[in-house]
Structure 1
């Protein structure tokens, strides 16, 4: 029983660490970790762990643990909120101003806050169409924009 618990823990770790697309790939990782497991046993383990498959956003599917899918959907929602509301981004030193469509400043500020960017000290939503972002000491607007583009590749700034 102890080996099974250790194996289940290892499966969780592997799914969180690697982009695993198939049981064959997962069996390979498990083998490298020292587990000799049949495909049938792995299937039972995946069912017990409630592992699912979700789109990788390109042209394939990857294994995911319960809760990961909701987290990914939430992250996508935050990105969509930002993209729907912003018009432009300008910066000077460690201050950034995001111009938004009328009525979208709260949503865009909330999206930035939800991204938990280490560079951001805080946001202030304007009355209607502007978000002020104060960056941490030593972080430039360009640094912020580079990080934001990593989170939101669709950003066209």
Structure 2
């Protein structure tokens, strides 16, 4: 099977199923389509398609395809959360701490990750706090500005 056709099939499967692992995807390809690919090949295909995992409540997370203009839609979602659920945004050295209402940090953290902000090295969240790591204090101030601009 040609690579492009394989990628299209994977897109179709991800749109119509909540697939949690590379192994699960490879098994579906084999069982339903009689196509056998190594898990390495399937993992590389997922990476090429820029697939991400999203949480599914208390259950396992699952793969989703990137949405068109997804960064913009997540920026809009973050603005809504910022108004209702963000209590404070503090810059300390090369990181930003965002204090949220209890239970909202992971959701807001996911929005921040999907916004694809420049200079962000990574994010970590707990129940009510998010830490955004950057290289310098100047970059932290800039990203804070991007997060808080209206």
TM-score (norm 1): 0.43
TM-score of the two chains, using structure 2 as the length reference: 0.45
